[in-house]
Amino acid sequence: MSRSIDEIQQEVWGLLKESQCVYLATAEADQPRVRPVTLLDLDEKFWIATSPRSAKARQIQRNPNVEFCIPLQDESGNGYVRVAGVASIITDLETRSTIGNQIPFLTEHWTGANDPNFCLIRVTRVEIEYMKPGEMEPTTFMV
């Protein structure tokens, strides 16, 4: 039975709802850089907390195009969700406070959302590619 794009999108949104480790790719000149980060899906937007001195923050300031990938695995095989997007560093204190206060590990690393060592990054979705575990062909859609 073939699934509609709406059904596939709902399945993907369900996979992205939880705070989780993903592999974020940024660019440094012509070299891709990939590292694990904790991704938060809050208010239907993707957020990453880091230090403003981190390599990823510096790379995003120079080139905001990013991708992240979530590997998937179940009894039927392997799959993934890959999201291409545009990242921006959020400086607005109200947004930093609203989102920062929802980050479970905020106070483990920073004194609060107004800590100058806290950097909040928002990733706006542009394209999503999803390969359900056990399937052989991914589905790509724009958002």
pLDDT tens string 81-128: 999 999 999 999 999 999 998 888 889 999 999 999 999 999 998 899
Nearest to 89 by CA among 60, 67, 127: 60
Q: Which amino acid is at 36?
A: P
Q: 46 has which bridge partners?
A: 41, 123
pLDDT of residue 19: 65
Q: 80 has which bridge partners?
A: 71, 131
pLDDT of residue 90: 97
135: tokens are 């399937």
CATH class, range 5-142: mainly beta
Q: Is the pLDDT of residue 60 over 90?
A: yes
- What is the pTM for the complete model shown? 0.90
pLDDT of residue 17: 80
Q: What is the rounded distance in angstroms from the CA atom of residue 99 to the CA atom of residue 95?
A: 6
pLDDT of residue 20: 85
- Residue 93 backbone phi and psi in degrees, to 5: -60, -35
Domain ranges for the chain, please list them.
5-142
For the chain, give the mean pLDDT.
Answer: 93
pLDDT of residue 1: 54
pLDDT of residue 39: 93
Residues 6+ apart with CB under 8 A from 135: 77, 79
Q: What is the rounded average pLDDT of the residues 7-36?
A: 91
DSSP conformational letter for 99: H
Of 23-32, 40-49, 66-75, 77-86, the least confident? 40-49
pLDDT of residue 87: 97
The backbone region for 107, taken as left when phi is positive above 0, alpha when psi lies in -120 to 50, beta otherwise, is alpha
